[in-house]
Amino acid sequence: MTTQVDLIGDLQKRYPDAFNGQHTSMFTFDCGEGWLDVVGTLCFLLAEANRREGKAPTFLLSVTEKFGTLRVMVSSREPEARQLIAFAEHHSTRVCEICGAKARLLYSDGWQRTRCDAHSLTVRTTEDD
């Protein structure tokens, strides 16, 4: 079973320019594995933006789930970074947080979740982390 630390470590290895060299334990990653492609794409785009000169770099600080969608915190307020984050957060409303399949935002039992039809009744527990 892949742990959150393994997932963060993999992202940091693939996209070091999206992170500020912080140790894995200092980075918050608390969302379903189905959103890994969304997060990976965001890391790639932030890393590319950070390689350009003329602006302060933007580093990823945390990735979490809130109200059924991805929430991302970064180290700056650069307009380009804000646009990339808005895109990733919006895109997460169309991707199942469990498996990555096409999904929709659902409201059930007081909770919002982004799920595909197959996982629409699945409850994510702390053991899934």
**94-112 pLDDT, tens digit each:** 999 999 999 999 988 888 9
**2-18 pLDDT, tens digit each:** 677 787 888 889 998 89
| pLDDT given at position 54 | 74
| pLDDT given at position 1 | 60
What's the burial of 23, exposed, middle or buried (CB within 10 Å: 0-12/13-18/19+)? Answer: exposed
Per-position DSSP letters for 9-49, written without gaps between them: HHHHHH-GGGS-S--GGGSEEES-GGGHHHHHHHHHHHHHH
List the chain domain ranges: 4-128
CB atoms under 10 Å from CB of 36, counted, come to: 19
Strands 104-108 and 111-115: antiparallel
**45-58 pLDDT, tens digit each:** 999 999 887 778 89
